[in-house]
Chain A
Amino acid sequence: DAGVIQSPRHEVTEMGQEVTLRCKPISGHNSLFWYRQTMMRGLELLIYFNNNVPIDDSGMPEDRFSAKMPNASFSTLKIQPSEPRDSAVYFCASSLDGSGGAGEQFFGPGTRLTVL
């Protein structure tokens, strides 16, 4: 298996531009997670989906952030408009959850976003 695939790996953009990050989870996994990692705030869960449905988006910083999962093999995280404080590494992770709680999460390599 190719693992979790994220694109792009690096993104440099200017303040005010729209940014779209993409994720392909591991085939057969039914949960997908978006995280943000910064030196100041560490690893933060932004949103997670189960069976393509958003379950918890309480970590999404503000309305400028949105995430979709149109099917089991693809998800996007969009920032519009972007701001310099959005600069971070964004990780996507997927897991196969049975009943009773979280299974192991498999992380992608991350997208390093720099907003100038």
Chain B
Amino acid sequence: GNSVTQMEGPVTLSEEAFLTINCTYTATGYPSLFWYVQYPGEGLQLLLKATKADDKGSNKGFEATYRKETTSFHLEKGSVQVSDSAVYFCALSGRTGKLIFGQGTTLQVKP
């Protein structure tokens, strides 16, 4: 079945450091891929998405490229800020309408 695997956290970085959070997936067909972010005390919100192979999603300085050959959708940001501290979830869509979420990766950015 479909599944998503994320790197385990927590990830702790200093402000302005480079961020990579790895995400790989297993799926039949051609799912859409998503990154959601959850700030403390809030629900999840969409950060970026990509709907087909080689698409790059981007938002707020974050980027991720849909790599079909490596079944990956790694999240990157060139210079993180304290305000980026949150939990990040990778997800894929299934034909049935559900999203399959990874386990989440906690990012902590220190000043």
Least CB distance from B66 to A in Å reads 14
Least CB distance from B42 to A in Å reads 6
Q: Is the CB of A104 within 8 A of B98?
A: no
A107 on interface, CB distance cutoff 8 Å: yes
Interface positions, chain A 25-66, Cβ under 8 Å from B, are 31, 33, 42-43, 45, 48, 50, 55-56
Q: Is the CB of A101 within 8 A of B93?
A: yes
**B interface residues, how many (CB within 8 angstroms):** 20
A70 on interface, CB distance cutoff 8 Å: no
Q: Is the CB of B95 within 8 A of A56?
A: no
What residues of chain A lie closer than 8 Å to B46, measured between beta carbons? 104-106
Least CB distance from B6 to A in Å reads 10
What residues of chain B lie closer than 8 Å to A91, measured between beta carbons? 43-44
Among B34, B42, B93, residue most surrounded by chain A Cβ atoms (within 10 Å): B93
Footprint of B on A, CB under 8 Å? 4, 31, 33, 42-43, 45, 48, 50, 55-56, 91, 93, 95, 97, 100-102, 104-110
Given contacts A48-B97, A95-B97, A110-B43, 14 further A-B contacts (CB under 8 A): A31-B97, A43-B89, A43-B104, A45-B98, A55-B97, A56-B96, A100-B95, A101-B31, A101-B32, A102-B93, A102-B98, A104-B46, A106-B46, A109-B42
